[in-house]
A and B are shown apart, each in its own frame.
Chain A
Amino acid sequence: MDSEEDMLDANDAESIDDDFDHSYYRNNDDGADAYPDDDYTFLEEDADASDIVALRRPQLNYAVLAETDIRQRQEDDITKVSTVLYISRAEAAHLLCHYSWSVSKVHDEWFADEDRVRNSVGLLDKPMIQLSNCKELTCGICFEFIPRNKITSAACGHPFCCTCWEGYISTSINGGPGCLTLRCPDPTCSAIVGQDMINKFASDEDKEKYSRYLFRSYIEDNRKTKWCPAPGCEHAVDFAAGGGNFDVTCLCSYGFCWNCAEEAHRPVDCGTVAKWILKNSAESENMNWILANSKPCPKCKRPIEKNQGCMHMTCTQPCKFEFCWLCLGAWSDHGERTGGFYACNRYEAAKQEGVYDEAERRRELAKNSLERYTHYYERWASNQSSRQKALGDLQQMETMSLDKLSDLQCTPTSQLKFITEAWLQIVECRRVLKWTYAYGYYLPEHEHAKRQFFEYLQGEAESGLERLHQCAEKELQQFLIPDDSQSKEFNEFRTKLTGLTSVTKTYFENLVRALENNLSDVDSLGGCSETNK
């Protein structure tokens, strides 16, 4: 093959799924401002294409929950467990909390071995000790003789005075969400300190905190739910696995990745985004420090500094993952057979095989070549700010211009939806385009064919989007000026903008798919790259 065009055509033929609309862009090579009449011939055809795309779109595999929904679900789950197991609601809440709010897990464990569950959760069904009937008892914390009526205990019966209970409970609640699994102060006793005790001894402020922790635990400890990370947003997202992508859009309109909780970043994967964001952090010294001195928790990815203590790491609430500092494997897999806890054999073996050296070497490379980085960063950032600007324009359009346009063109606002849709498409395209720059930065230099193909696709995406943006922004203006009888031109404008929106949408959807497949079509073309250009 001797030209890029040929290569692309071959590619088209091989993969019907990725049929980028080359005919459209090829006709417009003479610049963004030119709109030859024959531009519109493809628009009719495209109506069919967009229908197919609509059919291909997967069903939503997530649900956004407001606080009332969350409380309702939590109450329902507690009711279910409490009715089926015939235990109090407070006990049911403890069980659920212990088993990550999974009703089925609670049922399975309970019916498999009730005693074991009771022991590990700390739900005693009878006291461990009987208190004598003396008038006074010694409190196990303050060592004072306390009248019998001022002594209380959890289900186990270990006696402590009311003042000490207040201190114990208050310290625990103010120490964080660990208070949800508070146990009897006696070090040998595992009895849970139930909500009845909390209600009795905690201050109103602490009770509020406790109930807030319990509420949050329902989302944070549940593997299927997460909070929306947008500042100030109090919605949560319930995500069902399967469906292939993690992008979700909250009711607050923030789009984020359910997997890594960064903003929505298709077509780039979470690992690349994390690298990119870390790289972008302005405090590069800070970043270097984090790289040199911390490791991310293997489960929740928060950076952890080990400043003392042993290799047995426990991530903080709510993650609580226990792992080995050396190999980052789960602690439960460790023991004598992996070489004891202080010198993990898995780590030593992997190090000898060069796994860790390789990771470190790659990190080094990524840190270098500042110039190259700046190139990608500037484009990433400018698409980001274009997107913000487009969001603002969209808002202004919806609040002011649409009504005005409706009056001037004697068209009901319901017929002007195509303008809003165009702007929504622009916002989405800016987002995708932005992430293609992170993708481009991490695309290996030596894969020449891929790089060329990618840069071609990206360039076409840029110019296609410019065309749409231009049309929605500039060409609309003339219809906002009071004038006579423009209806024919306005209809033409409608056709054009609708067409551009649809074509750009298709192009970008194909682009996302192609990048998510890591441009695998290029691989199938073999080593033709060197002969190109």
Chain B
Amino acid sequence: MANSNLPRRIIKETQRLLSEPAPGISASPSEDNMRYFNVMILGPTQSPYEGGVFKLELFLPEEYPMAAPKVRFLTKIYHPNIDKLGRICLDILKDKWSPALQIRTVLLSIQALLSAPNPDDPLSENIAKHWKTNEAEAVETAKEWTRLYASGA
């Protein structure tokens, strides 16, 4: 259905994602909609998310690559730049999007965001506040949530 007239670019990106996946990232298109990707990102080592497997969904809108892909966390995560609906505060998903970016670069940026939370530009105010006032405790909560929701069990 939605897969007819799939741009060559999307096909090429998909092939490359499957054949040379970025470390700690897997992205595979849904069988009935080649614009919808099931994504998994492993929590980066030495981050509070280490050991966790985070599920995301990624959708390529009709205008892609002129418009940015839509990405959202499905797994609950305690992170100052991700809200409780899984929405992500990341400039390249909004006004800094460029058609020269790709699914791969977007997912790598999200992975980097897990390694380096940025409470100075928060999406979830409470979590950001927690992070700024008592980082050790916030990190503990993030680890706890990782165990609770992202342990892949």
Q: Which residue of B lies closest to A314 (CB)?
A: B95
Determine, out of B25-33, B97-105, B143-151, the stretch whose residues face the partner at the interface. Answer: B97-105
A354 on the B face (CB < 8 A) = no
Identify the interface centre among A311, A342, A343: most chain B CB within 10 Å of its CB: A342
Give how many B residues have a beta carbon under 8 Å from the other chain's beta carbons: 28
Determine if A289 is an interface residue (Cβ-Cβ < 8 Å).
Answer: no
For the complex of A and B, the 10 pairs showing the least CB-CB separation, nearest first, are A171-B66, A341-B120, A342-B128, A185-B100, A310-B121, A141-B99, A187-B98, A140-B100, A143-B12, A142-B9
Could you write out 15 A-B pairs with CB less than 8 Å apart?
A: A142-B9, A142-B65, A143-B12, A164-B99, A171-B63, A185-B98, A186-B98, A187-B92, A308-B123, A309-B123, A340-B119, A340-B132, A341-B121, A342-B125, A342-B128
A455 on interface, CB distance cutoff 8 Å = no
Known A171-B67, A187-B101, A341-B121; further 17 A-B contacts with Cβ < 8 A = A141-B9, A141-B99, A142-B8, A143-B12, A168-B99, A187-B92, A187-B100, A308-B89, A309-B89, A311-B122, A340-B119, A340-B120, A340-B132, A341-B120, A342-B80, A342-B119, A343-B132
Closest A-chain residue to B67, C-beta based? A171
Binary interface encoding of chain B residues 20-52 relative to chain A, with 1 for a CB under 8 A from any of its CBs, else 0: 000000000000000000000000000000000
| Interface assignment of A295: CB less than 8 Å from any CB of chain B | no
B76 at the interface (CB under 8 A from A): no
Any chain A CB within 8 A of the CB of B55?
no
Residue-wise, chain A 308-326 has the 8 Å CB interface mask toward B (1 for contact) of 1111100000000000000
Q: How far is the CA of A335 from the CA of B29 in the complex (A)?
A: 42
Residues 340-365 of A at the B interface (beta carbon under 8 Å): 340-343
Interface set, chain B 76-105, CB cutoff 8 A to A: 80, 83, 87, 89, 92, 96, 98-101
In the assembled complex, which residues on chain A have CB atoms less than 8 Å from the CB atom of B120? Answer: 340-342
Within the complex, the shortest CB–CB distance from A129 to chain B, in Å, comes to 13
Q: Which residues of A have CB within 8 Å of B125?
A: 342
Q: How far is the CA of A50 from the CA of B128 in the complex (A)?
A: 66
Let me know if B129 is at the binding interface, CB within 8 A: yes
- Nearest chain B CB to A318's CB is how many angstroms away? 16
Q: Which of B7, B9, B12, B83 has the most CB of A within 10 A?
A: B9
On chain B, the residues within 8 Å of A308 by CB distance are: 83, 87, 89, 123
Kindly list chain B residues whose C-beta atoms are within 8 Å of the C-beta of A140. Answer: 100
* Measured CA separation A487–B62 after assembly (Å): 80
B66 and A168 contacting across the interface, CB-CB below 8 Å = yes
Q: How far is the CA of A340 from the CA of B122 in the complex (A)?
A: 11
Taking Cβ atoms with an 8 Å cutoff, the residues of B that contact A are 7-9, 12-13, 63, 65-67, 80, 83, 87, 89, 92, 96, 98-101, 119-123, 125, 128-129, 132
Q: What's the minimum C-beta distance from A139 to chain B, rounded to whole angstroms?
A: 9
- Find chain A residues with CB under 8 A from B80 CB: 342
* Contact A310/B100 with A143-B12, A343-B129, A343-B132 known, Cβ cut-off 8 Å: no
Q: Are A342 and B129 in contact (CB under 8 A)?
A: yes
Residues of A within 8 A of B96 (CB): 187
Closest beta carbon of chain B to A314's beta carbon, Å: 8
Task: Please name all residues of chain B whose beta carbon is closer than 8 Å to the beta carbon of A342 when the two chains form the complex.
Answer: 80, 119-120, 122, 125, 128-129, 132
Output the residue of A167, A187, A310, A341 with the most chain B CB within 10 A: A310
Residue of B nearest to A164 (CB): B99
- In the assembled complex, the Cα of A342 lies from the Cα of B121 at a distance in Å of 7
* A140 to B63 alpha-carbon distance, docked (Å): 16
Q: Is the CB of A492 closer than 8 A to any CB of chain B?
A: no
In the complex, A186 Cα to B102 Cα: how many Å? Answer: 11
A140 to B12, CA, bound (A): 12
Which residues A135-184 have CB closer than 8 A to chain B?
A: 140-144, 158, 160, 164, 167-168, 171
Residues from chain A with Cβ under 8 Å of B83 in the complex: 308
Given A187-B98, A187-B100, A308-B87, the answer on whether A141 and B65 have CB atoms closer than 8 Å is yes
Q: How far is the CA of A143 from the CA of B9 in the complex (A)?
A: 6
Q: B51 CB to closest chain A CB, in angstroms?
A: 27
Contacts of B92 in A (CB 8 A): 187
Out of A171, A186, A343, which one reaches B100, CB within 8 Å?
Answer: A186
Smallest CB gap from A342: residue in B:
B128
- Complex Cα gap A143–B67 (Å): 16
**Chain A residue with Cβ nearest B96:** A187
B63 to A, closest residue via Cβ? A171
Closest A residue to B83 by beta carbon equals: A308
Contact status A310-B122, CB under 8 Å: yes
Query: Whole-angstrom distance between the alpha carbons of A310 and B118 in the complex?
Result: 11
Q: For the complex, give the distance between the alpha carbons of A141 and B100 in Å.
A: 5
Kindly list chain B residues whose C-beta atoms are within 8 Å of the C-beta of A187. 92, 96, 98, 100-101
Given contacts A341-B120, A342-B129, contact A310 B12 (CB under 8 A): no
Query: A144 CA to B89 CA in the complex, in Å?
Result: 31
Residues from chain A with a CB closer than 8 A to the CB of B12 are 143
CA distance A232 to B129 in the complex (A): 49
